[in-house]
Amino acid sequence: MGAKIRMIEPDQVYEASIRTVDRTFLFSPNHRKSYPLLAASSPPSTLSLDNDVIPDPSIINVIGAAVGRALVDAPIQIHGFEANINHLHLIFSATQTQLDNIIPFFQTAFSLIARGVNRSIDREGPVFNGRMRAHACLSEETAEQKLLYAITNAAKDNLIERTEKSPLFTTYHYQAKGEPLKYWYIDYDAYWTAGGSRKKTHRLKDYLKWTKWHCTPLPNQQSKSISERQTWMRQQVKDLEMAFAEQRKERGRTVIGEKCLRETDPRDRPKNPKKSGPEPLCHASDKETAKAYKEKWRHFKNEHIKASADYRNGMRDREFPIGSFKPPLLDVAKAGSH
């Protein structure tokens, strides 16, 4: 319970994950016609803009566009973003001036992803199952390990053999080869605000927009050239994929493969769903660093509990410890009604 009070510090790298209700991030070509991800450099004309036909966005495009749109209004630093079939992995940090953007960013990104996924596969109901888990990476080594863990997660889980062949969303192609993170979306809010289908002159294609974003290098990678960072990423991923292959060979396991993944029904749920294990407070390279962080967090938690109690009792100008967030006003209203 206690770990749910997050201590978010500026310029600190965090790894985070969130699970979905089902195998949401795949799509069944038998359910609804799906289109492959358009090349990032594709001009709008490739989207059949000479008529009213707009291709259905792939789940990859839905996720990429959601992240890009969220970063416009609430910029933070994304170091890596990866989708498995039923969860997301991301590595992020925020500068001092970006701390207040963290909650709005995730609220916007996850909301857009959920709405886009449901619209794409004619699905209803919540997409995400539970809250996001976020943990500080207290060293350069652990930050790199968690980034590579996210990037190669599908290969580690024996879904694919090579990360670059993944049919799931990945920032690998940007970080390893420099391919731009550019995605398109339909601005439905603007469409309906302007009258939507009630006006015969309105066409969805007129509300098609592009968004482009980038991954920020990890702090210890920023002194390297772009070429050096890409080489590092390719080599690290290759080494991990070779290790995964050896493990599969030893255990007699095989790769599921892209074809089977694409044929998986996105509403399918595993017969024996994997349960999340104990949630760590942080990721550290040694026990002393982890212990010091735990003591720091305990002090932070106590101060946050006191501030939260005062805030709920009407002290709206109560200052909270740096790196924490005030309780939502909706919760405060509920507390006051008892």
Q: Given pLDDT bands bounded at 50, 70 and 90, which one contains residue 323?
A: confident
Q: Please tell me the pTM assigned to this model.
A: 0.84
pLDDT at 32: 41
pLDDT at 297: 92
- Whether 42 has a pLDDT exceeding 60, the answer reads no
Task: State mean pLDDT over 274-294.
Answer: 86
pLDDT at 269: 64
pLDDT at 195: 86
Which tokens in the block code for residue 200? 């015969």
- Cα angle 73, 77, 82 (rounded to 5 degrees) comes to 100
Distance, CA of 231 to CA of 239 (rounded, Å):
12
Length of the chain: 338
pLDDT at 72: 97
| Packing angle of the helix pair 287-312, 329-336 (nearest 10 deg) | 50
What does residue 15 show for φ and ψ, rounded to 5 degrees? -105, 140
Task: State mean pLDDT over 61-74.
Answer: 96
What does residue 283 show for φ and ψ, rounded to 5 degrees? -120, 115
How far is residue 272 CA from its own chain's centroid? 24
CATH architecture of 2-285: 2-Layer Sandwich (3.30)
* Domain locations in the chain as residue ranges: 2-285, 287-338
Q: Given pLDDT bands bounded at 50, 70 and 90, which one contains residue 292?
A: very high
Distances (CA, A) of 32 to 35, 47, 55, 58, 119: 10, 18, 12, 11, 11
pLDDT tens, position by position, 225-256: 999 999 999 999 999 999 999 999 999 999 88
Q: Tell which wins on pLDDT, 81 or 52.
A: 81
- Whether 131 has a pLDDT exceeding 50, the answer reads yes
pLDDT at 93: 97
User: In the chain, at which residue ranges do the beta strands (DSSP E only) sit?
Assistant: 14-19, 77-83, 87-93, 133-137, 181-186, 208-213, 282-283
pLDDT at 268: 66
Distance, CA of 115 to CA of 125 (rounded, Å):
10
